[in-house]
A and B are shown apart, each in its own frame.
Chain A
Amino acid sequence: MNITILLLTLLIGALATYFSGKKSAAKVALSFAVIAFIETFVLICQHNSGFNADYSVEWIANPNIHIALKADGLALALVLLNTLLTPLIILSAWGKHIEKTNIFYALVMFMCFAMTGTFLASDGFLYYVFWELALIPIYFIALLWGNDTFEARKKTVFKFFIYTFAGSLFMLVGFIYLYQKAGSFMLYDLYNLNLSSKEQYWIFLSFFIAYAIKIPIFPFHTWQASTYEKAPTIGTMLLSGIMLKMGLYSIIRWQLPIASDAARELMPTILVLCIIGVIYGSIVALKQVNIKRFFAYSSLAHVGLIAAGAYTLTTDGLRGAVLQMIAHGLVIVGLFFTAEILYKRYNTRLISEMGGIRQQAPKFASAFMILVFASIGLPGTFSFIGEFNLLYGLSQVNLWYALFGGTTIILGAFYMLRMYQKTMLGETNSKPFADIDKTEGIVLGVIVICVIFLGIYPKPLTELITPSLVEIVSYIK
């Protein structure tokens, strides 16, 4: 199957959703998302059977820009995450009243398209275009369909957009500079460049700003919590589940192989930043009163560790980063969905106003609990595989990093269980809480099954991504 079909499916899906009218928009979007998922699956099967789905056609002759897509295992794994989560995210708002449904879902589909493009692009320019394109839909989704008063969220969303946009422009400058050196934006031309260490240093930094803001790495995270809070839950899921993976993926795909000497040189500083983020995020999370902000900070802690793993430059660290990206994507989407379910029933996001739900909604409580334990990396869940790889990678650099990074398993348990206790446990709440319905069950069920299945048998994914990572590591060396 041609890789472009996947992208076209999503793009056409976005258009079709827009034109399908308010009544059927969600259904149209869902069906296209599911088709995209199936296509991804087919692509992965083809990839496993040795089929090379890379695609390249000239876009602009001068400057030399291609529409080049690279469907190696790494990219496909992330695309799989994307196309798996998108239908779930669409389902998560099933039946909910949304103003201008068709525009909303069209934006969701468009964002999925742009993110898929980001993962697949192997031409730096094309990659940048997709990277920026992904920003626009989420901006509108958060702005127009978000929570709180318009004025309040305008400020927040604005901050988010300007901040991330500013970061990525520096990356553009980096790319242009590389283009001047290489005469091409193609991935391998950039990999094979011989840059002086000073050049690498600046290229590395210019990329780092973009990624550090997107991921976000401490102390560039100030947009995160408020945006997650203000965005509608679907937007939050897209942001936290997929979009921030773009930054992490880009570190591995673009930043490290291109500026590997600089990466080695700056590794201690960046690892320290990442690990500070892990601890800082965990501690701040402890004191959050809003459940979405809480998950935002927990996410900060988790992605800090992922970024740290990526920056170890070891195969194990990188593998851990990719696996954990997928695991975190699944889990955080699930967690935000639980927040949404709680909000739907109790109409509040304050943790203090919840509690005493477990007895009323045992299914929900169990699913939530599994997600909580997945989030803290209990062995047997997928997160453990990722976390172990990450920490093992870190320990290869220096045991202290692994030790401090490893505090996440303590602090993570601390804040997560505390949250779970306050939201779910305790004397049965006087307000009734309906257990999850069918669609909610499907969403949570799929996530829970994926998390557990991949925790026991991650081999298909590991085998998918490892060759790409080995190749990337060979460029790093």
Chain B
Amino acid sequence: MENVIEIIGIEKYIYLSIILFCIGVFGILFRRNAIIMFMCIEIMLNSANMLLVAFSTYHQDAQGQVFVFFTMAVAAAEVAVGLAILVTIYRNIGSIDIDKLKNLKG
């Protein structure tokens, strides 16, 4: 594992994570389908996970990896709730396009 970090360099991991994170952000910004937006959020979370794992290795410290498990559990719970909300919305308006949700404004 040391080798991997040494060979590639921690910066690269960070850049990759940032790129992934940005992909997530842009996805959320430009897609209007709720499922895809959820997935983009997952990408953001996972980019952070990757960063944690990378740093964990870099620092020779297990805490980072433990944290990732927390994150995954939380992400799962979050998505579960999110999907539940989505289902109720679909039941009510028959669509999962978030642009249709414009009742609350002003």
State yes or no: do A and B touch (Cβ within 8 Å).
Answer: no
Give chain A's interface residues, CB within 8 Å of chain B: none
Q: B-side interface residues toward A, CB under 8 Å? A: none
